[in-house]
Structure 1
Amino acid sequence: MSTTRFDLRGLAPGQGPSRRHVASVIDAVDDAVVVQGPVQALAAVLARLWTSDRLPAVTVGWEPVDGDADCRGLARDLGLGTGSVRELPLVRDDHGGVLLHHGRVEPATPGRALARRFGAQAHHDAAKVADGDITRIEVRPRWDVEDQISVAVVTVPLRRPGRTTGRALQVACDPARVLRDGVPVDREVQRWTWYADDRVRWRLQP
């Protein structure tokens, strides 16, 4: 089996790799790729493998960045460095992205942290989890169970958020900013969906 090493360790916090650069490398991979870099680098590679219909045929390894808290958290959740090759679920959105560790929907306009709120209505599966002014929505894939995401809705700063678990989150809102694994989406949104796609698996080489 041939393995390609893809070095994306130069990415700055909040910066995603160029889609063109990712495609130029990943589309030439035969059997396996080892991604070197932060969480958003791994997410970009998985997104390209998905859009090119190559999941789970290509085995994916990951070498996280030292000293990065998100990398440590995701590596722990994935059990990186333990076990054998295994197929894992994938959380996707309706704009072609992949979420591995932490997503957020927050107000698009800048302002003081305690005053920034926006109107939103959100459903997590059949449950209405937001209906009115909120501070933000936090989303995390669940790696301990299949095809689930955890959602926390913060209605008032410093107040304990409501938390739910389910497969899909749908949001309709005032203009908002979305971050996928720390990387801002390049435009404001008024609708957004994250969902654990039970039709898709990717193969991790631990």
Structure 2
Amino acid sequence: MDVVRFDLRGLAPGQGPSRRHVASVVDAAGGDVVVLGPVPALAAVLARLWKTDRLPTVTVGWEPVDGDAACRGLARDLGLGSGTARELPLVRDDHGGVLLHHGRIESPGGQGLRKRFGAQAHHDDARVADGTITRIEARPRWDDDALGVTVVVAPMRTRRSTGRALQVACDPARVLRDGVPVDRDVQRWTWYADDRVRWRLQP
């Protein structure tokens, strides 16, 4: 079966690929896919495969961008270059996106000591935020099919937790998925490590 090499190395920092472009290439691929490009490129391809119910049957390879810190971090976490194929969970959100390396929820004005917003958040059964905070950060934990969460309440005041699902209700806030901002402010958001949906990485 043919392997399709999907080159998205031209993406600018903070930019995700066009959904239409991703669909046109991924939907036409009859076999496995190798993604060339930054973390958001790989996330977009996985999201499309999941949406079209092809994720369990397609092996995905990834050739990250040189000199990109997020690529280096994710490649290390995934064991890229080990030569051992891995079955991994999919960390999804309730807006159809996929999170691979780093998610952030923050004030619409961005980061800063005075940029705060009201939020209530639960990580599984634990309440991890209830009041005014600076930001929430989420990172997939690939070794235990979970999601690590850090709530920054104020400088030098953080709360850390590990679990499967993060649910947030908040004042209007900006969400970034692997460095790419969602196209509108949100007041509700969910990230969860869905171990019922697996994807196969060929490193």
Asked if TM exceeds 0.5, the reply is yes
| Residue 123 of structure 1: aligned partner | 122
2:173 pairs with 1:176: yes
| Residue 154 of structure 2: aligned partner | 156
Structure 1, 98-107 or 82-91: larger mean CA deviation = 82-91
1:164 offset after TM fit, Å?
0.1
Distance in 2, Cα, partners of 1:88 & 1:30: 22
| Residue 193 of structure 1: aligned partner | 190
1:86 offset after TM fit, Å?
2.1
What secondary structure is seen at the aligned counterpart in 2 of 1:98?
coil
Distance in 1, Cα, partners of 2:86 & 2:150: 29
Q: Give the AA of the match of 1:191.
A: R
Q: Give the AA of the match of 2:128.
A: V
Distance in 2, Cα, partners of 1:167 & 1:57: 24
What secondary structure is seen at the aligned counterpart in 1 of 2:113?
coil
2:14 pairs with 1:14: yes
Q: Give the AA of the match of 1:125.
A: D
Residue pair 1:30, 1:58 contacting (<8 A) in 2 also: no
C-alpha deviations, 1:24-77, integer Å up to 9, x for none?
Answer: 000011121100000000000000000000012111000000000000000000
Distance in 1, Cα, partners of 2:192 & 2:96: 12
1:114 offset after TM fit, Å?
1.2
What secondary structure is seen at the aligned counterpart in 2 of 1:155?
strand
Q: Give the AA of the match of 2:190.
A: T
Distance in 1, Cα, partners of 2:86 & 2:93: 23
Distance in 2, Cα, partners of 1:70 & 1:85: 21
- The number of residues matched between the two structures is 203
After the TM superposition, which residues 1-206 of structure 1 pair with which residues of structure 2 at under 5 Å, given as runs?
1-109=1-109, 113-146=112-145, 148-157=146-155, 159-206=156-203
How large is the Cα RMSD of the aligned pairs?
1.0
Structure 1, 68-77 or 82-91: larger mean CA deviation = 82-91
Distance in 1, Cα, partners of 2:83 & 2:62: 14
Distance in 2, Cα, partners of 1:202 & 1:160: 36
Distance in 2, Cα, partners of 1:100 & 1:155: 24
Distance in 1, Cα, partners of 2:144 & 2:80: 16
Q: Give the AA of the match of 2:160.
A: R
Q: Give the AA of the match of 2:197.
A: V
Residue pair 1:56, 1:87 contacting (<8 A) in 2 also: no
TM-score, normalised with respect to structure 2 = 0.98
1:90 offset after TM fit, Å?
0.7
1:83 offset after TM fit, Å?
3.4
Distance in 2, Cα, partners of 1:172 & 1:86: 34
Q: Give the AA of the match of 1:127.
A: A
C-alpha deviations, 1:160-202, integer Å up to 9, x for none?
Answer: 4210000000000000000000000000000000000121000
Structure 1: any 5+ residue segments left out of the alignment? none
